């Protein structure tokens, strides 16, 4: 077990219900999680265990949060299909299909890109931990496109630094609800964990305030431009300066253009369009993932320093969606 945070209750936090207040910290993912920690005696108030979830927090109180060490998961190699775009002794670049998780987790212990890579490569760099060997960056389960994985520790460190310095070229294609008024734009809005829906990300307002700092909002910048305009939707190209969790999905939703098919952030307005054919309506309903594709990835090779750039077309399901909207 280890202490993961120590916090003094501020005036602005006075009177909040304890279990709900605890979920404002990234380490506690839900009120149920908070209640379980409280019941087990892992939350200390002024040095003493607190067991009552409904207790109100008061200004000046010290909260000490302990988290039990999670049980380790064994990650086994699995024989699975990999669409390899490039591979050498330092790294491997793949075209990830939608519907596949990048690395194992409690909900997805197998059948991930990491399982398949361990079978293919035999060994991967271990900088990012047992569950994420070689993983430098991620794509959401239902996002398709280009992904780079390090095969050595040196390559992992080098690639991670390139991502950190925002020198990696990353461009996505996105099909969104609604048609933007402008041809292009920049969304500069910090992102953090949603205070209630802990699996969601949200824009953190007033980024420079103490409240936003406590919620751990991180700078996030997305450049977008319109590629195609349709009656009720548009195809966009999105270039990332930063690579935050769910960045494109949350940013585009924030400007009124959520991704088609996104069950988490993109509520469908399809019922408002009386002119949409039954066939198109069915095609959109059958598209059960966010319409987001990592089209281009470019970076310097960790060893040779040569610029490498990879581009993959949108997959068949995405193409079918675009054609159905185009010709309806």
Is residue 140 annotated as part of the catalytic site, yes or no? yes
Across the chain, where does the E strand assignment appear? 2-8, 43-45, 48-49, 62-67, 84-87, 91-96, 144-150, 169-177, 184-188, 191-193, 201-203, 221-229, 233-240, 292-300, 307-311
By CB atoms closer than 10 A (0-12, 13-18, 19+), residue 245 is middle
- Checking phi first, is residue 306 left (phi over 0); if not, alpha (psi -120 to 50) or beta? beta
Rounded Cα distance between 154 and 90, Å, is: 8
Rounded Cα distance between 151 and 154, Å, is: 9
Cβ-based neighbours of 111, under 8 Å, separated by 6 or more: 78, 80, 100, 101
Rounded Cα distance between 86 and 92, Å, is: 6
Cβ-based neighbours of 252, under 8 Å, separated by 6 or more: 174, 176, 187, 222, 224, 236, 238, 258, 259
Beta bridge partners of 149: 92, 135
- Are the CB atoms for 328 and 277 separated by under 8 Å? yes
Q: Which one of the listed residues 26, 79, 83, 140 is annotated catalytic?
A: 140
Question: What is the SS3 assignment for 35-104?
Answer: HHHHHCCCEEECCEECCCCCCECCCCCEEEEEECCCCCCCCCCCCCCCCEEEECCCEEEEEECCCCCCCC
Active site residue ranges: 140
């Amino acid at each position: 077990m280890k202490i993961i945070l120590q916090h003094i209750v501020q005036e602005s936090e006075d009177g909040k219900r304890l279990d709900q207040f605890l979920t404002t910290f990234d380490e506690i993912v839900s009120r149920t999680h908070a209640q379980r920690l409280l019941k087990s005696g892992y939350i200390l108030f002024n040095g003493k265990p607190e067991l009552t979830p409904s207790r109100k927090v008061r200004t000046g109180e010290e909260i000490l949060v302990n988290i039990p060490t999670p049980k380790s998961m064994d990650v086994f190699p699995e024989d699975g299909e990999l669409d390899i775009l490039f591979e050498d002794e330092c790294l491997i670049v793949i075209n990830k299909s939608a519907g596949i998780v990048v690395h194992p987790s409690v909900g997805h212990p197998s059948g991930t890109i990491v399982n398949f890579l361990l079978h293919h490569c035999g060994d991967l760099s271990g900088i990012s931990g047992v569950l994420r060997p070689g993983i430098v960056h991620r794509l959401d389960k239902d996002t398709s496109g280009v992904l780079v994985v390090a095969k050595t520790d040196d390559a992992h460190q080098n690639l991670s630094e390139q991502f950190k310095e925002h020198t990696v070229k990353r461009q996505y294609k996105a099909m969104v609800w609604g048609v933007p008024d402008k041809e292009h734009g920049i969304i500069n809005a910090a992102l953090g964990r949603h205070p209630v829906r802990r699996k969601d990300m949200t824009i953190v307002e007033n980024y420079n305030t103490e409240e936003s700092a406590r919620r751990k909002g991180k700078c996030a910048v997305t450049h977008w431009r319109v590629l195609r305009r349709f009656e009720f939707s548009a195809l966009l190209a999105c270039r990332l300066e930063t690579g935050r969790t769910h960045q494109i999905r949350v940013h585009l939703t924030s400007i009124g253009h959520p991704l088609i098919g996104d069950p988490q952030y993109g509520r469908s307005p399809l019922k408002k369009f009386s002119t949409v054919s039954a066939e198109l309506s069915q095609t959109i309903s059958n598209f059960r993932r966010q319409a987001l594709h990592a089209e281009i990835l470019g970076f310097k090779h960790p060893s040779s320093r040569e610029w490498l750039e990879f581009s993959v077309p949108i997959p068949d399901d995405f193409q079918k969606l675009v054609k159905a909207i185009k010709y309806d």
